A and B are shown apart, each in its own frame.
Chain A
Amino acid sequence: AQSVTQLDSQVPVFEEAPVELRCNYSSSVSVYLFWYVQYPNQGLQLLLKYLSGSTLVKGINGFEAEFNKSQTSFHLRKPSVHISDTAEYFCAVSDLKLSSNTGKLIFGQGTTLQVKP
């Protein structure tokens, strides 16, 4: 079974500063990894995903994440945040059966990114 731990429940940061949101996972099999963003009272929007290949993944809105298999981490980073980045961020993991009838996403607890002016 897979599990996901987001180490920070809240991350306050000033506008234009860099930010890192941490995510660690555990799994006995190879996994797909995802970061989603949720704005208030909305659904989830995919920021980026790691399926295979390069461990550095670039996503939308200037975000990127690096898959580190030895540390079982998939931390999300942005070099310079904007006020509009204030939202809830979820890390998620799925086993490689995502395309099969048994594949499903397991979400972390979420991290609230608060960007201050």
Chain B
Amino acid sequence: GAVVSQHPSWVICKSGTSVKIECRSLDFQATTMFWYRQFPKQSLMLMATSNEGSKATYEQGVEKDKFLINHASLTLSTLTVTSAHPEDSSFYICSARGRDEQYFGPGTRLTVT
């Protein structure tokens, strides 16, 4: 089946620094990938839709200058959290669109100290 990986699986960074999270589709090409954010004991909130070769589409309320998304190839999308603050600490999950479903990565736990 379709496999999506994320790297790193967890990261700790200091406030004010930037951190990049990678999302890869390992055995298929994904023209569209999605980035979600999940707070403890809560549901997934869609942050943005990433289309290969074009600008990402951000959901309302998501700061595009803070959460930079780059989908440079058919197998890789990256999310960069710029100037991270403790309130950005969360579980970030990506998914890749398949024919009739989305395939989810294992998630990245970001802790900003």
Nearest A-chain residue to B44, judged by Cβ: A107
A54 in contact (CB, < 8 A): no
Nearest B-chain residue to A108, judged by Cβ: B43
A17 to B91, CA, bound (A): 32
A84 in contact (CB, < 8 A): no
Residues on B with C-beta less than 8 A from A46 are 101
**Contact in complex: B34, A43 (CB < 8 Å):** no
**Contact in complex: B100, A101 (CB < 8 Å):** no
Classify chain B: how many residues form its interface, as a range: 20 to 34
**Contact in complex: A45, B43 (CB < 8 Å):** no
**Contact in complex: B99, A99 (CB < 8 Å):** yes
**Contact in complex: A105, B102 (CB < 8 Å):** yes
Nearest A-chain residue to B9, judged by Cβ: A41
Q: How far is the CB of B100 from chain A (nearest CB, A)?
A: 6
| Given A108-B43, A109-B43, A34 and B101 contact (CB-CB distance below 8 Å) | yes
- Chain B residues 82 to 106 lying within 8 A of chain A, measured CB to CB, are 91, 93, 95, 97, 99-102, 104-106
Residues on A with C-beta less than 8 A from B99 are 99
A90 to B51, CA, bound (A): 25
Residues on A with C-beta less than 8 A from B42 are 109-110
**Contact in complex: A43, B106 (CB < 8 Å):** yes
- Chain B residues 45 to 97 lying within 8 A of chain A, measured CB to CB, are 46, 49, 51, 91, 93, 95, 97
Nearest A-chain residue to B109, judged by Cβ: A41
Nearest A-chain residue to B1, judged by Cβ: A46
A41 to B91, CA, bound (A): 8
A32 to B98, CA, bound (A): 14
| Given A41-B109, A104-B49, A49 and B100 contact (CB-CB distance below 8 Å) | yes
A99 to B34, CA, bound (A): 13
**Contact in complex: B43, A49 (CB < 8 Å):** no
Q: Give 1 or 0 for each of A90-111: 1 = CB within 8 Å of chain B CB.
A: 1000000011010111111110
Measured CB to CB, the residues of A under 8 A from B are: 32, 34, 36, 41-46, 49, 51, 90, 98-99, 101, 103-110
